[in-house]
Structure formats: C-alpha cells, structure tokens
Structure 1
Amino acid sequence: MARVFGITGGIATGKSYVSNILKKQGYTVYDADQIAHTVGNQPEVLAKITEEFGDDANNNGQLNRSYIGKIVFNDSEKLERLNNIIQPPILKKVLQIIREIQSDKTKELCFMEVPLLFEEGYEKYFDGTIVVSADRKTQLHRLIQRDQITEDFAKSKIAKQMSLSEKRQKADFVIDNSEGRNVNRQVVDLLEELKTNL
C-alpha cells in the first residue's frame, strides 16, 4: 500500500520548490490549492459563497478569488464563514485522493502539498508530515520579492499564519530552505529515509 506524506510550511518558505524537486525525482505530488480552486468553482459551492458574500463573488461561473480574499483577509469571522462552506468539500476530495493513492499497487510514496495542513487538522489523514521552513529574514525577503509588496504588508501576512516554530514542532520531518542551505540534498536524504522505512 502506498504511503502519502503531507507537505506544508509557511508563506514563501518554498513548499512548491520542494514539491518540484520531488516531481523531478519521479514522485507524484498533489496540490491542495488546486483542489481548492476546483472545489470553489463547483456550482453548488459557488452558489453558497455567492449567497454569503454577494454577486461579485461569482465571476462568470468562476470564484472571484481576489474579491473574496480582500473580504476575508482582515475579518476572521468572514474567513470562518468562508471556511465553513469550502473546507468540507475540499476535505472530501483530499480524502478521496488519499484513498485512491493508498489502493494503488504501483506506487510506494506520494506527496500532497497542503498550505493549511496543521491549521485544518489534516495531519491525521497522512502517513507523515514534512514542513518546509526558512529563517525569518529569508522568508520575509522572498515574500516581498515574490508578491511585490511592502515589508509591513509582508510581516502582516506572515503574522496571520501559525508560526513556523509551531509547525516544525508538529512535523515528522523538516526541510530547511533558508538561504544557502542545500535543499536538494535534504530532499534526497529524506527520500532515502522514507524508502528505508517502507
């Protein structure tokens, strides 16, 4: 039976970078964000979000993510209302994919990138968790460069997330993607460890 490991981390720590290394090594990596996008555009889910947040949430049959993002960014109550609509069908799809992977006799290891893995309590559905971490200076610099935002805005985005130190404590494995660290080597070593324990 294939084992499935969840990959998470903080904003701009390099989750996708690690996922791409795994893909280049020949492993399948699923993306929970893509699953969320698909779920958000399902007619029944989109109808509930539009009813809750107004007609501007529906952009010609697609969820208007920038509109919703602005609404929920500084409003925890509205964010919770959005999550109450969208998280149950996302979880249902994630669990369906995990079951399909586990029943696939041709695979031994698979991965899924889940940004809010610990926040949403997804860790219990995986065979193990991997946190991609980075020091604060590296994380801040990458976020500013990537999103072309001010340092203050970048700091506020980081502050809204579960701290990296807490995620590292919860994780089964940690990959340090700070400036100057050899991430490729860490991923190869991790794969060796995971395969040894199959």
Structure 2
Amino acid sequence: MLVLGLTGNIGCGKSSLSNIFKKNGIHIIDADIISRQIFDDKRVLEDVFKYFGEEIKNSDNTLNRKALGRIVFNDNNKLIQLNSLTHPRIRAKILNEVENIKLQGENIVLIDAALLVEGGYLEILDKLIVVVCDEEVQINRIQLRDNCSKQDALSRINSQISQREKSKYGDYIIDNSGTLMQLQKKADEFIKYMKENWCE
C-alpha cells in the first residue's frame, strides 16, 4: 500500500486539495478530525485545562478552541506544550487507522496533516505532497476564514515552519495561489503523475 502524506501551512488550501483527492476515491486520514476527537478523552481535556487554565473552558466544561488558539499561536512555548500533550495520542490513532486501511486491502492511503514534517511522520510515509501559496493570498484566506486581523493571521503563519523549509521535504509540490478550478486541474495532473510513477 502506498502511504502518502499531504501537508501545507495554514491558509494554503490543504483541506481543499484533500477534498478533491477524496472525491477521486483516495482514502483520507484527516489529522484535524482526529485532533478534535482527542479532546473527547476526558484525561486529555483535564491535562489541557490544568496547564492552560480556566480561560479556555466553556461554561459547559467543553474546550473553547478559539481561546486556546489565541494563547498557543502567540506563545511558541505554549504551542510546544499543547503538542506534547496531544500529539502522541494523535499519532497512535493515525498509525492505527493506516493499519486498518491496509487490512481492508486499499492500494493508497493519504494522511492529511499540517504537522507531518514537524511531527516526525516522514518515516512512515512513502511520498509527501506539499501544498504552498503566495503569502499575501495565505494572509487573506486566513483573515476571511477566521474573521481575524492581519496580525493574528501572521501570528498563525509564524507559529509554523516556513513554506520554503517545508517544501524541502516534498516529493511533489502543488502551488495553490489561484482558484479552486486551477487547483482541481493541478490535482488531476498529480493523480496522473502518481499513477504513472508511484503506483505499481
């Protein structure tokens, strides 16, 4: 089974590309969905509340994700701490899903995650796709999506390793500075390339 990774920085359109692959019948493991599910584990939630305090807790004792985001995107040490609390559990769940899909006899699985490079996933991937875009486009997308200031958007961008650094690890780079239709065309080109070069 071919294990693909799809990564890209915030606002580059990783999820849009992942959705196109899904429509083309590629099995997707979405790390964002898994990272949300992790907080269904009360032990994880308690650890996060204990470290970050009551300000990230909603009145019904659930996690206030926006409040947590404001903290970690403006303090790299706190982002590192959050990752140390959540990433081992996320990784275990991803690896378990890869094995389950393999047992189902699938030919290809794609792990969609922002932190594939930083999180040490390269060792389990056969190939890595990196989606990139122009920084001004990236800032505008984050502002529109999250209804935040330019400064907030830049804080989120700067909390990740640069697009240039991430691209060094890619086996295939897709530039998503344009429209969704252009991205579709590039996705089609990639699928053709993958079938010709990476699939047995």
Same fold (TM over 0.5): yes
**Given that residues 50 and 57 in structure 1 are in contact (C-alpha distance below 8 angstroms), is that contact kept between their aligned partners in structure 2?**
yes
What SS does the aligned partner of 1:179 have? coil
Secondary structure (helix, strand or coil) at the match of 1:62 reads: coil
Identity of aligned residues (%): 35
> CA separation of 1:120/1:45 partners in 2, compared to 1, >3 Å: closer, same or farther?
same
Is 1:31 matched with 2:1? no
Instruction: Output the CA distance in 2 between the equivalents of 1:112 and 1:102.
Output: 13
Number of aligned residue pairs: 196
Provide the C-alpha distance between the structure 2 equivalents of 1:79 and 1:147, rounded to a whole number of angstroms: 19
Q: TM-score, normalised by structure 2?
A: 0.88
| More displaced stretch, 34-43 vs 66-75 | 66-75
The alpha-carbon distance between structure 1 residues 55 and 39, as it changes in their structure 2 partners (threshold 3 A), is: same
**Cα RMSD after superposing both structures:** 1.9
Change (3 A) 1:73 1:152: closer
Alignment of 1:1-198 (within 5 A): 2-59=1-58, 60=60, 62-105=62-105, 107-179=106-178, 182-196=182-196, 197-198=198-199
1:134 is displaced (CA, Å) by: 0.8
Task: For residue 138 of structure 2, give the secondary structure of its aligned residue in structure 1.
Answer: helix
Mean Cα deviation higher: 6-15 or 66-75:
66-75
The 3 A distance-change label for structure 1 pair 88 and 175 is: same
Which runs of no fewer than 5 residues in structure 1 stay unpaired? none
Cα shift readout 1:2-30 (whole Å, capped 9, x = no counterpart):
22211111111111111111122122222
Cα deviation for residue 188 of structure 1 reads 1.5
Q: SS in structure 1 opposite 2:145? A: helix
Q: TM-score, normalised by structure 1?
A: 0.89
Indicate conservation of the 8 Å contact 1:41/1:63, yes or no: no
1:125-182 deviation digits (Å, cap 9, x = unpaired): 2221111111222222222222222323322322222111111111111111112582
Is contact 2:29–2:94 with CA below 8 Å preserved after alignment?
A: no
Greater displacement, 48-57 / 134-143: 48-57
Amino acid aligned to 2:157: I
Question: Could you tell me how far 1:183 is from its partner in structure 2?
Answer: 1.8
Distance (whole Å) between structure 1 residues aligned to residue 187 and residue 101 of structure 2: 21
d(CA) in 2 for partners of 1:10 and 1:142?
Answer: 12
Deviation per residue, 1:2-59 (Å, 9 max, x gap): 2221111111111111111112212222210110110122112112222222345444
Alignment gaps of 5+ in structure 2: none
Check 1:84–1:121 CA distance in 2 against 1; reply closer, same or farther (3 A cut).
same
* Residues 1:50 and 1:147: Cα distance change in structure 2 (over 3 Å): closer
Report the CA distance between 1:116 and its aligned residue.
Answer: 1.3
